[in-house]
Structure 1
Amino acid sequence: MRVLVIDTALGLCTAGVFEADGDDVRALGVRSESMTRGHSERLAGMARDAVAEAGGGFQALDRIGVTVGPGSFTGLRVGLAFAQGLGAALGIRVVGLSSLDALKASVEQAQTVVALIDARRGQVYGRAWRAGVAVGPAEAWAVDDARAFVAELETNAPLAADNRVHLVGSGAALVGEGLGHVVIHSLEGPDPAALAPLTAAADPQAHPPRPLYLRAPDATPPTRLPGQARVARL
């Protein structure tokens, strides 16, 4: 299956074309840059260049995968809008990919993995896996709670080099501070190659391209309409 992957959720802006057949993944054209803003100006050009390098044009694509969060509100919206618009124009499926699942897939060789995204305000978004099986759902954790959770995983995991707890993502160093037997992968975003098999394997019905929020938005709705007088409080 030839897939186009798009990631604008975290610290990267990525557009890549891959041939994905189970665990066999071949990169055909990839563009990925460190970026926390400006995705709307760069994403379309990066996708065009990746597709041109892959050959065959956009019509050769079978599916599009796009990260849906958790992550930057603005970045997510840019990626989702672009992916959905392109999918509609080409008449192909668009599937949503969890940023945490994609980070975990970026260190697939590790047995025990906790994907962690710095959510600010003393929190991280996280999810854990043992031997490829999720320990629980994606959640928003206080940093101290996340550290305690990882410490508990540490005590239950063998200390051989290939079985230590691997922390991956922008929140990895924050949570791993002071913990002894962890491996920290401070990735800005998922490895583009990790997105391709997730895209090919995803059930479109179970993985729609909709934003995934684990915490209520910081912004609140206005209490009055533009031009409407303020209500006096007694």
Structure 2
Amino acid sequence: MLVLAVDTATPAVTSGLVRLDADGGDALPEVVAARVTDNPRAHAEVLTPQILECLAEAGKSPTDLDAIVVGVGPGPFTGLRVGMATAAAFGDALGIPVHGVCSLDAIAVDAHRRHDVTEDLLVVTDARRREVYWARYSGGRRVEGPEVRKPADLPAEPSVRIAGSPAHVALFDLPAVDVHTPSPAALVAVAADDLRAGTEPAPLVPLYLRRPDAVEPANRRA
């Protein structure tokens, strides 16, 4: 199964082609081609070209795709909707399923499977406004979150390791795991059971967790 993976929930614009085998297993799926651009202001400009570059590198066309997996956040409003809208458009045009997954879950999967982290894990990413998006994991499974909170109001315990945005990881007195953003393989791994089972994907619902930064002035004239 050839899966397109997309995530724009962090400053990184991530896309990749991932091959998912039918037999399962705990190893991460195989990445065929991937592109990551670290630019919080370039999501709309670079995402579709990145996808097309991945297809060209793999010698594939869009019609070779079997499914799409997209990170649904939590993330800032503008960046997050770019990835979700692009994934939905590709899925609609190709008539293939689009599965949404929590972007923090993908970071945790990379920590668990690529770095063999078995201890309780805290994942944090930049929520702006001096806040973080966060979730806790135990044994590779999410046990709390996702939520948004100021770092000073988020206790490190009971977590014993941390992953995510380096600037925000540094605010916690925990050993860091070298995983900063969702990878294409981890995004697909989060949805792997549903993909293999042919499960009908749930509607795509973004995890904004709060209202957008931009609001219409209350006294704006018609």
TM-score, normalised with respect to structure 2? 0.84
Separation in 1 of the partners of 2:150 and 2:43? 29
Instruction: For 1:59-74, list aligned pairs within 5 A.
Output: 59-74=63-78
User: Matched residue of 1:27: which SS?
Assistant: strand
| Counterpart residue number, 2:143 | 135
Q: Which residue of structure 1 aligns with residue 16 of structure 2? A: 16
Alignment map for 1:54-203 (pairs within 5 Å): 54-108=58-112, 109-111=116-118, 112-146=120-154, 148=155, 150=156, 152-153=157-158, 165-170=160-165, 171-174=168-171, 176=172, 179=173, 182-185=174-177, 187-202=179-194
* Structure 1 alignment gaps of length 5 or more: 155-164, 229-234
Deviations 1:54-87 (A, max 9, x none): 2331111111011111112211111111111110
One-letter amino acid of the structure 1 residue matched with residue 177 of structure 2: H
Cα-Cα RMSD: 2.1
Range that drifts further, 38-47 or 190-199 = 190-199
Does structure 1 retain, via aligned residues, the 8 Å contact 2:9–2:103? yes
Q: Amino acid of the residue matched to residue 173 of structure 1?
A: A
Offset from partner CA, 1:73-108 (integer Å, 9 cap, x none): 211111111111110000001111212111111201
Structure 1 residue 139: Cα displacement? 1.3
Answer whether contact 2:104 2:134 (CA < 8 A) is retained. Answer: yes
- What is the alpha-carbon distance in structure 2 between the residues aligned to residue 207 and residue 101 of structure 1? 17
Instruction: State the AA in 2 paired with 1:71.
Output: G
Given the two structures, how large is their TM-score scaled by the length of structure 1?
0.80
Kindly tell me: are residues 92 and 206 of structure 1, through their superposed partners in 2, closer, same or farther at Cα, counting changes over 3 Å? closer
1:217 Cα shift? 2.7
Partner of 2:203: 208
Which has the higher mean CA deviation after the structures are superposed, 198-207 or 113-122? 198-207
Change (3 A) 1:199 1:35: farther
Q: What's the offset of the Cα at 1:142?
A: 2.6
**Kindly, what percent of the aligned residue pairs are identical?**
38
Distance 1:202 1:168 in 2: 26
**For this pair of structures, how many residues does the alignment match?**
209
The alignment partner of 1:212 has SS state of coil
Distance in 1, Cα, partners of 2:184 & 2:60:
20
Say whether the 8 Å CA contact 1:14–1:32 is kept in structure 2.
yes
Task: Indicate conservation of the 8 Å contact 1:118/1:125, yes or no.
Answer: yes
Q: Deviations over 1:116-141 (max 9, x none)?
A: 11223342211101112322231122
CA distance in 1, matches of 2:201, 2:55: 27
1:197 maps to a residue whose letter is A
